[in-house]
Structure 1
Amino acid sequence: MKTTGVIGLGDMGSGLAKNLIRNGFRVTGHDLKPDRMAAFEAMSGRLAASSAEVGAASDAVFVMVMNGDEAKEVILGEAGLVAHMPKGGAVILSATLKPVEAEEIGQAMQGSGIHLIDTPVSGGFPGAQGGTLTMMAAAPDDTLDEFAPVMEAVSSSIHRVGTTPGQGQTVKACLQSLIGAQFSATFEAAALAAKAGVPGQIILDVFSTSSAGCGVVNNALEKIIDRQFEGTGSHINTMHKDLTISMNLGERLGVPLHTAAAAMQLFHAGRTKYPNGDNWVCTRVIEEIIGAELHREGSK
């Protein structure tokens, strides 16, 4: 059985680590925040003081950091994975980056003897913690075959979307443009119901059993009507960043993204007003304009 590592032990990375351990893998991890390291150690993870130490101890390392600059540092830096992993190992890039950033990492890794699997994930905090993430994996088939058991430990759906770095990130950017639009439409519909005086439970019951009902909509409505705007594992910074990536790809390819652009602005407003909030806090921005809130049992 391969040894594994996780760099970035936040809401998503901690779930990766938990499920790797649950499936019998030895897991070495690193994060800059002491509380995350303590929580990882409590789940029987092996602490590492640096990315280099994770790499030296692992055949496969998940990289779950926030942005492209961080990914490049932990993968390509002097104390990064490429310089310290055993030959034949794999960097599993599960963070969401700009496609061009994944391409640049792949180009820099050529000839290193280390594989790169470009596989951003979807499923959020529940999917990470439950081991049910969807993976959009881009790498040669033989590489994906070899490291399939590691990926299957954290995912219930692994889609092979390409063979070269950047292709996984491209599919994720397309997905996030849709999810952003679903979020923003849900926030606006919730505010409309609040102003009209419709109880949140009625809206949830109707939406969730209609053709519009889906995991994104239903979960957002649950959080809104129960007024759970922080600490739900879906920090607004992440979706804001992902929409920025989608918009960047649209600009590169000359594709107009009207609804994604509207969602981007709503998330920008929510992030500016409530920087510690989760995705659903965008609804509060609209509620404050209209002077009504959506609660489970009725508007206030």
Structure 2
Amino acid sequence: MTSVGVVGLGDMGSGIARNLIANGFETWGRDLIADRHRAFGEMGGQMAASTAEVGRNAQYVFVMVMKGTEAHEVILGEGGLAETMAPGGTILLTSTIKPAEARTIGDGLRGSGLHLIDSPVSGGYPGAQGGTLTLMAAASDNVLGDAKPVMEAVSSSIHHVGTAPGDGQVVKACLQSLIGSIFSATFEAAALAAKAGVPGQVILDVFSTSSAGSGITNNALEKIIDRQFEGTGSHINTMHKDLTISMALGEELGVPLHTAAAAMQIFHAGRTRHPEGDNWVATRVIEEIVGAELHRDAAKVTR
């Protein structure tokens, strides 16, 4: 039986682990948060006491942590995967980090006998839990071919976007600049409708059947008009971090990102005002300014 590991069992990593288990892979997992670790065990995973134990037992390991520094520590730190995985093993870097950080990790793995697939993901919490993530994978054809069964267990769309570490992260940064901009435009449109007195259901019906409708827009509007601003699996910290990466890449390459920059500020305001909220909570900041809220059945004047 192929053994697979997952380091980082939050909203995304727990979904990856769930689908690996469901597809018959012996799955080892590790998370520093006890509740996440316990939930992983309850779903049938092998609970590792350390990253090193994951590395010793797994042929493939997904790294789904929040920051580049965390990914570096998991992979190249003391007792990390580079030290404990058997030669020939493959690390799937599914975290979203800076391209330069992925390149540094790739450089650090040279001579280790391990393979690295730089493959950030898209699809959010529903995609992770449902096994329908989009993977932006960068590695050689041979490495991707060997890992295909493992990747197909968690993904419905695998794109070969490059061969070098960092290539996947570059594509993800471009994608997030677009997604963040769509989100922020949706938040503004929702606040505009609220101030004008239009019911949320009307806005959702029109937007979702127009050329502007999309999974991103429709889902955000659903959350806004039902006032679901926390616990939906899309914490605002993640998009804020991702937009920071997009903006940094634009700065590095000299590319003006006017719309993404505006989105970055909207998410920054949302995270500052409502730090425990999910992406859609940024709408509340705009609503607080204009004195109106968008609800499913009606717009509500708050002052």
TM over 0.5: same fold? Answer: yes
Residue in 1 aligned with 2:163? 163
Per-residue CA deviation, residues 231-261 of structure 1 (Å, 9 max, x unaligned), is 0000000000000000000000000000000
Q: Which amino acid aligns with 1:280?
A: W
Residue in 2 aligned with 1:267? 267
SS at match of 1:157: strand
Residue in 2 aligned with 1:86? 86
Residue in 2 aligned with 1:213? 213
Per-residue CA deviation, residues 105-156 of structure 1 (Å, 9 max, x unaligned), is 0011011000000000000000000000000000000000000000000000
Residue in 2 aligned with 1:11? 11
SS at match of 1:73: helix
TM-score by length of 1: 1.00
Shift, 1:161, TM fit: 0.2
TM-score by length of 2: 0.99
Counterpart Cα distance in 2 of 1:105 and 1:16? 22
SS at match of 1:147: helix
Residue in 1 aligned with 2:151? 151
Shift, 1:78, TM fit: 1.1
Instruction: Give structure 1 stretches of 5+ with no counterpart.
Output: none
Counterpart Cα distance in 2 of 1:56 and 1:267? 40
Residue in 2 aligned with 1:54? 54
Spell out the pairing of 1:1-300 with structure 2 (5 A cutoff).
1-300=1-300
Counterpart Cα distance in 1 of 2:79 and 2:260? 37
Q: Which amino acid aligns with 1:211?
A: S
Shift, 1:79, TM fit: 1.0
Counterpart Cα distance in 2 of 1:248 and 1:148? 31
Counterpart Cα distance in 2 of 1:193 and 1:162? 42
Per-residue CA deviation, residues 265-291 of structure 1 (Å, 9 max, x unaligned), is 000000000000000000000000000
Q: Which amino acid aligns with 2:190?
A: A
Counterpart Cα distance in 2 of 1:215 and 1:111? 43
Counterpart Cα distance in 2 of 1:92 and 1:54? 13
Kindly tell me the number of residue pairs found equivalent between the two proteins.
300
Q: Which amino acid aligns with 1:174?
A: C
Q: Which amino acid aligns with 1:222?
A: E
Per-residue CA deviation, residues 80-125 of structure 1 (Å, 9 max, x unaligned), is 0010001100000000000000001001101100000000000000
SS at match of 1:83: helix
Shift, 1:49, TM fit: 1.1
Q: Which amino acid aligns with 1:54?
A: V
SS at match of 2:19: helix
SS at match of 1:91: strand
Shift, 1:46, TM fit: 0.4
Shift, 1:66, TM fit: 0.2
Could you tell me the percent identity over the aligned residues?
73
Show structure 1 runs of 4+ deviating over 3 A: none
Counterpart Cα distance in 2 of 1:103 and 1:211? 38
Question: RMSD over aligned Cα, in angstroms?
Answer: 0.4
SS at match of 2:40: helix
Counterpart Cα distance in 1 of 2:240 and 2:221? 19
Q: Which amino acid aligns with 1:50?
A: S
SS at match of 1:86: coil
Counterpart Cα distance in 1 of 2:254 and 2:51? 37
Counterpart Cα distance in 2 of 1:155 and 1:130? 9
